[in-house]
Amino acid sequence: MTVAVIIPVYNAEPFIKAAILSLVSERDQVKLDIIAIEDGSTDRTPDILALCAKEVPELRVLRNPRKGIAAARNTGIEALRADCRFVAFLDADDLSVRGRIANQRSLLEANPSIDALYGKVEMFSHADPATMGPMKDRPTRIIRGPYLQSAMFRRSVFERVGPFDESYRQGCDTDFVLRLADAGVNLSLDEGIAAYYRRHNTNVTLDRTEMHREFIRATMKSAIRNRIKGKPQLPAIFDSLFMNRAHIEDEQAS
């Protein structure tokens, strides 16, 4: 069976090849379908993807010009192959931890009651091209949060919960995980590090005002859904996935 990995790509010239190669390291363990959605880049990203597609048979490149990251992820979901049972994500500037895809697939296969897994991410700024991980002599930070690049889902989750909300610029992952919890999806938190989250000067999340506004918007929508259903509080998973993340990111900004 195939594990699909969806990568939205926009102006990722310095990073996209490394992101793809970090997944290819698992090709002997997992049947991969890497779906890169090119979102109208204005740098050399399309050329790099074309070269990667010639070298990596697992890679498919789709085009979704300037519709945004949520729409790109939805395009990837719509393009899933018939034999795909599990879906993971990776951002174009990040790296997948070696063995992460095989490990998360095994956990889902061994635990049929679990619908989705979220692992930890390790934030870094400088990569070691030999290990496809952070440089050992540079500072990193390990955190848990609603980061899609650390997650794997059964395909049925998207049929149950629906697509990503394309009205969000950078909050669709927060909105999505809250919708999972609100829908009663069995979401498990894995203590392993699943992805390396690269920090650089073009990260969308550097716009902290927008990030906080989108976070509040997503949590308010969840609170309204729960109030309508007669639930007095946000889902219990909220504290584990969100509050610790917010605390750590505030420390980073100080």
Query: SS3 sequence, 2-48?
Result: EEEEEEEECCCCCCHHHHHHHHHCCCCCCEEEEEEEECCCCCCHHHH
- For the entire predicted model, the pTM comes to 0.85
Helices 172-182 and 69-78 meet at what angle, rounded to 10? 60
- Sort strands 187-198 and 116-124 into parallel, antiparallel or unpaired: parallel
User: Considering its fold, how many domains does the chain have in total?
Assistant: 1
Q: Specify the pLDDT at position 197.
A: 92
For residue 148, the enclosing domain spans: 2-253
Q: What percentage of the chain exceeds 70 in pLDDT?
A: 87
d(CA 116, CA 11): 29
In this structure, what CATH number is given to the domain that contains residue 96?
3.90.550.10
What spatial distance separates the first Cα and last Cα of the chain, rounded to whole Å?
46
Secondary structure element (H or E) that encloses residue 73, with its range? helix 69-78
Give tens-digit pLDDT for 87-135: 999 999 999 999 999 999 999 999 999 999 999 999 998 888 888 888 8
pLDDT above 80 (res 218): no
Q: Specify the pLDDT at position 233.
A: 66
Q: What are 223-227's contacts with CB under 8 Å, separation 24+?
A: 225/182, 226/182
- What integer best gives the mean pLDDT of the chain? 87
* Residue 186 three-state SS: coil
